[in-house]
């Protein structure tokens, strides 16, 4: 935009001062285990709103912003059209092109609310999000009118359970019906049907695909810094919830507790990756990591584990001294992510007891009734 204005000999405005504005509409309607589940998504919601409602920076008198957005959108649609008839390397090329254009197009909304952007416009950004909220709420209402049970809404899409017995033909008919009701330029797309979904909290869920694969979403469920055995526990517990229920998931919890208590884990199973940065050697809060990373340089990564004395050490210096109490706490903290699946918190506590110094076993339900 700046280049276009300079080429026209026009002045460049200063950025507006930052102003807070509302975000997208997100809501977890209900936690639990569901299936089958369908995902629908409004294609490029915010860019589509800006084009459909002619929303751009107020100080863009030349209309460069929306012109660029419209041209890039047309180029992406052309790339997607070419993709449909392409094969092999040609398909990969057009797919990569449309994906890159999608990222660029989606950045236009972010530009409106970027503090250092010369043509930023917080009022326009707020208008886009408000229209987006109104549209997705309309879509949710239409889904419910059709008998669907909405599980989660996230800015531009929703997961829902179709009515009992409704197959893929219901999905396509529903999407077509909603598209007839949406404003011109706004389009709802079918993103897939899943065999199951564990809805835990907003933006944290696990999907079971129809071919049996797991899709884990959410920072509370997966992080590159999590120990390997914790990631494995999450996947095993999720599969157990889908196939065998809470008791089966609790068995996987007990299994991993037993592995920790018996010292049966390999160092690479309980080690965690840490990045070495300049702060590693200067921050008082990172003293333990600095000791473990002695001899390393910023930019390198190191796998460390916590010793029984509380210090950190590289896994290649492992001496059978892992902090098992710490690892059990980590496992319990990860198990807590599944607590929203239980309507009765006491049932979770029975099946996933907080670790003690002794091997954990579930408390029999009959015993709980004595109190």
* Residue that terminates a domain, selected from 165, 186, 216: 216
295-328: pLDDT as tens digits: 999 999 999 999 999 999 999 999 999 999 999 9
Q: What CATH number does residue 282 fall under?
A: 1.10.132.60
Q: Cα–Cα distance between 233 and 214 in angstroms, integer?
A: 13
**What's residue 371's pLDDT?**
39
* Helix, strand, coil tally for the chain in percent (to 5): 50, 15, 35
- Give domain status of residue 11, yes or no: no
Note the residue count of the chain: 371
Q: Are residues 31 and 171 in the same domain?
A: yes
Token pair of 126 as six digits? 């707020």
- 122-176, pLDDT tens digit by residue? 999 999 999 999 999 999 999 999 999 999 999 999 999 999 999 999 999 999 9
Distance of CA 168 to the CA centre of its chain: 25
Residue 201: its H or E element: strand 196-201
Domain boundary among 164, 184, 216: 216
Same domain, 96 and 190: no
The stretch 103-131 carries a mean pLDDT of 95
Q: How far apart (Å, rounded) are the C-alpha atoms in residues 189 and 187?
A: 6
User: Would you say residue 172 lies in a domain?
Assistant: yes
Confidence at residue 223, expressed as pLDDT on a 0 to 100 scale: 81
Strand partners, 273: 303
- Which tens digit of pLDDT belongs to each residue from 27-58? 999 999 999 999 999 998 999 999 999 999 99
Q: What pTM was computed for the model? A: 0.84
> What is the C-alpha to C-alpha distance for residues 255 and 229, in angstroms, rounded to an integer?
11
Domain at 92, CATH number: 1.10.287
Cα separation, 32 vs 239, in Å, equals 14
For residue 67, the model assigns a pLDDT of 96
User: Residues 6 or more apart from 73 whose CB is under 8 A from it?
Assistant: 44, 47, 51, 105
Q: Is residue 19 situated within a structural domain? A: no
What burial class does residue 54 get, using C-beta atoms within 10 Å of its C-beta: 0-12 exposed, 13-18 middle, 19+ buried? exposed
Query: Are 160 and 252 members of one domain?
Result: no
Let me know if residue 295 belongs to a domain: yes
Is residue 323 located within the same domain as residue 261?
yes
pLDDT in the model for residue 359: 47
| Average pLDDT score, the chain | 93
Among left, alpha and beta (phi > 0; psi -120 to 50; other), residue 320 is left
- Do 148 and 85 have their domain in common? no
* Predicted local confidence at residue 220, as pLDDT: 85
Q: Identify whether 257 is part of a domain.
A: yes
Query: Do residues 201 and 339 share a domain?
Result: no
Q: Are residues 235 and 339 in the same domain?
A: yes
Residue 356 backbone dihedrals phi, psi, to 5 degrees = -125, -175
Q: CB-based burial of residue 17 (10 Å sphere; 0-12 exposed, 13-18 middle, 19+ buried)?
A: exposed
User: H or E segment at 151?
Assistant: strand 149-154
Let me know if residue 222 belongs to a domain: no
| Contact call for residues 302 and 314 (beta carbons, < 8 A) | yes
- Report yes or no on 346 lying in a domain: yes
Residue 18 within a domain: no
Domain termination residue (choose one: 191, 216, 241): 216
271, 307: one domain: yes
* Residue 77 shares a structural domain with residue 175: no
Q: Are residues 170 and 36 in the same domain?
A: yes
> 69 is in which domain, residue-wise?
59-114
Residue-level pLDDT at 360: 45
Q: Are residue 312 and residue 250 in the same domain, yes or no?
A: yes
Mean pLDDT of the 212-238 span:
92
Contact 303, 272 (CB under 8 A): yes
Query: Considering its fold, how many domains does the chain have in total?
Result: 3
Whole-number pLDDT of residue 179: 97
Between CA 240 and CA 249, with CA 245 as vertex, the angle to 5 degrees is 45
Question: Tell me, what CATH number does 35's domain have?
Answer: 3.90.1600.10
- What distance in Å separates the CA atoms of residue 263 and residue 270, rounded to the nearest whole number? 11
Element (H, E) at 217: strand 214-217
Contacts of 128 (CB under 8 A, 6+ apart): 46, 49, 50, 55, 109, 112
- Which residues are registered as beta bridge partners of 309? none
Report yes or no: 109 and 126 within 8 Å, Cβ to Cβ: no
Residues 255 and 360 in one domain: yes
Q: Is 312 helix (H, G, I), strand (E, B) or coil?
A: strand
Using 50, 70 and 90 to split pLDDT, how confident is the model at 84? confident
Residue-level pLDDT at 342: 96
Q: Which range among 19-23, 88-92, 207-211 shows the weakest confidence by mean pLDDT?
A: 19-23
């Amino acid at each position: 935009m700046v280049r276009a204005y300079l080429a026209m000999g026009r002045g460049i405005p200063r950025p507006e001062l930052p102003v807070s504005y509302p975000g997208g509409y997100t809501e977890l309607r209900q936690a639990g285990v569901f299936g089958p589940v369908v995902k629908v998504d409004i294609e490029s919601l915010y860019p589509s709103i800006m084009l459909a409602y002619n929303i751009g920076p107020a100080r863009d008198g030349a209309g460069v912003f929306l012109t660029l957005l419209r041209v890039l959108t047309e180029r992406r649609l052309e790339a997607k059209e070419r993709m449909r008839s392409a094969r092999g390397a040609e398909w990969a090329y057009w797919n990569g092109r449309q994906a890159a254009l999608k990222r660029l197009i989606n950045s236009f909304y972010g530009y409106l609310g970027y503090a250092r952007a010369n043509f930023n416009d917080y009022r326009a950004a707020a208008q886009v999000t408000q229209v987006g909220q109104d549209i997705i709420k309309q879509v949710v209402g239409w889904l419910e009118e059709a008998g669907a049970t909405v599980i989660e809404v996230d800015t531009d899409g929703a997961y829902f359970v179709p009515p009992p017995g409704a197959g893929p033909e219901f999905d396509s008919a529903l999407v077509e019906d909603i598209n007839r009701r949406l404003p011109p330029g706004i389009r709802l797309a079918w993103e897939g049907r899943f065999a199951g979904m564990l809805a835990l909290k907003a933006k944290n869920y696990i999907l079971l695909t129809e071919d049996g694969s797991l899709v884990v979403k959410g920072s509370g469920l997966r992080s590159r810094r999590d120990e390997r055995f914790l990631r494995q526990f999450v996947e095993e517990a999720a599969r157990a919830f889908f196939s065998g229920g809470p008791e089966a998931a609790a068995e996987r919890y007990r299994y991993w507790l037993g592995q920790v208590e018996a010292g049966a884990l390999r160092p690479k199973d309980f080690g965690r990756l840490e990045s070495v940065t300049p702060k590693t050697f200067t921050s008082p809060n990172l003293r333990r990591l600095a000791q473990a990373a002695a001899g390393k340089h910023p930019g390198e990564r190191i796998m460390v584990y916590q010793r029984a004395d509380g210090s950190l050490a590289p896994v290649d210096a492992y001496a059978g001294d892992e902090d098992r109490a710490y690892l059990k706490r980590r496992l319990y903290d990860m198990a807590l992510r599944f607590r929203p699946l239980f309507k009765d918190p006491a049932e979770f506590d029975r099946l996933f007891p907080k670790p003690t110094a002794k091997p954990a076993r579930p408390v029999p339900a009959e015993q709980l009734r004595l109190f």
